[in-house]
Structure formats: C-alpha cells, structure tokens
Amino acid sequence: MGLTGYLLLAAALFSLGVFGVVTRRNAIGVLASVELMANAVNLNLVAFSRHHAGPTGQVFALFSIALTVAEVVVGLALVLLLFRAKGDVRIELASELKD
C-alpha cells in the first residue's frame, strides 16, 4: 500500500479528532479526541519515514508520543483541578477566558 493511502487514513483520523474536540462536552472526551489527532500525526510521520528516508521520521514520532504522554498527564491534572473546583468536568465550565 502506498504513501497516499496512509496519509488519507491519517487525515480522516485527524478530522475525527477535530470533530471530537469541538463537540465533546466532557473534558476527558476532549482529551481523548486530542489523542486521536496526535495519533494521526504519528501515523503520518511513520509513513513518511517509510517512504522517504531514514530514521528521522520515526524519531520524531517517538518524540511526539512522549510529548503526548506529557500532555495527557498535565491535561488530566487540569481536569482533576477543574473537577475539584467546579464539581464537574464539563468543559464550558472553564470559561474564565471570558474576561
């Protein structure tokens, strides 16, 4: 299977992630959607590495995975904080951005 197929697969996965990020109400749901997007990116990186050249793509994918882990950790911590503050984790509760 060629590169194009993998890229299209990743694009589809990414789009699903976008959909989830803007529609899910629960913060953990949003987090899961973000994971989908990150996963799509990793898929891209590995596919490029396979069809293009050298280990750099895989190295980046590894970095990306590690970063995602860190992000999940911090994200979950924030979710916990939100829960403790508001008693719920619906994401619209965190609307402090509005002045």
Partner 1 sequence: MSPLYTALLCTFLPLAAALVLVLVSPLRRAGLAAGLFSVATALIAFGGAVTLLLERWSGAATPVRETVRWLPHAGLGGGAHARAVIELGVQIDGISATMLVVVTAVAACVQIFSLGYMAGEPKPDFGRYFTWQSLFLFSMNSLVVAPNLLQLFLGWELVGLVSYLLIGYWWSKPSAARAAMKAFWMTKLADMGLILALLVLFVDTGSFDWTVTTSAAGAVTLLLFFAVMGKSAQFPLHVWLPDAMEGPTPVSALLHAATMVAAGVFLVVRAFPLFEQAPTTGLVMAYVGAFTALFAAVIAVVQTDIKKVLAYSTCSQLGYMVAALGAGSQVGGFFHLTTHACFKALLFLAAGSIIHGVHSNELSHMGGLWSRMRVTSVAFLVGALALAGVPGLAGFFSKDLILEHVLERGLWAPLGALLVAAFLTAFYMGRVTLVALFGRPSAHAEHAHEGGVSLLAPLVVLAVPAAGVGWLGAKLSGLYAAPVHFHLSPVGMVATGLALAGLGLAYWMFGAPQGGGRLRAAFAPIGRLARSGAVNARFAWGYGVLGGVSSIFAWFDRYVIDGLMNGLGYATLALGARLRGLQTGRAQDYVYVLVAAMLGVGAYGAFWSR
Partner 2 sequence: MSGEQVGFWVVALAILGAGRQVVTSRNLVHTVLWLAVTLANTAVAFVMLEATFLAAVQVLLYTGGVLTLMLFGVMLTTRDTGFVDVRSPLHRGFAGGVLAAAVMALVSASILRTPLPEARVTAPTTEALGASFLTEHVLAFEALSLLLLSAVIGAVVIARRRDAGDPREERGPAIRPRAPRAAGGAVRLGAPEAE
d(CA 34, CA 75): 10
User: Per rule CB under 8 A, is residue 93 in the interface with partner 2?
Assistant: no
Binding footprint of partner 2, residue count (CB under 8 A):
75
In the complex, least distance from residue 37 CB atom to partner 2, rounded to whole angstroms: 10
Which stretches within 1-99 are classed as H helix? 3-23, 27-51, 56-86
**In the stretch 30-69, what mask flags binding to partner 2 with x, by CB under 8 A?**
-xxx-xx--x--xx--xx-xxxxxxxx-xx-xxx-xxxxx
Contact 66, 47 (CB under 8 A): no
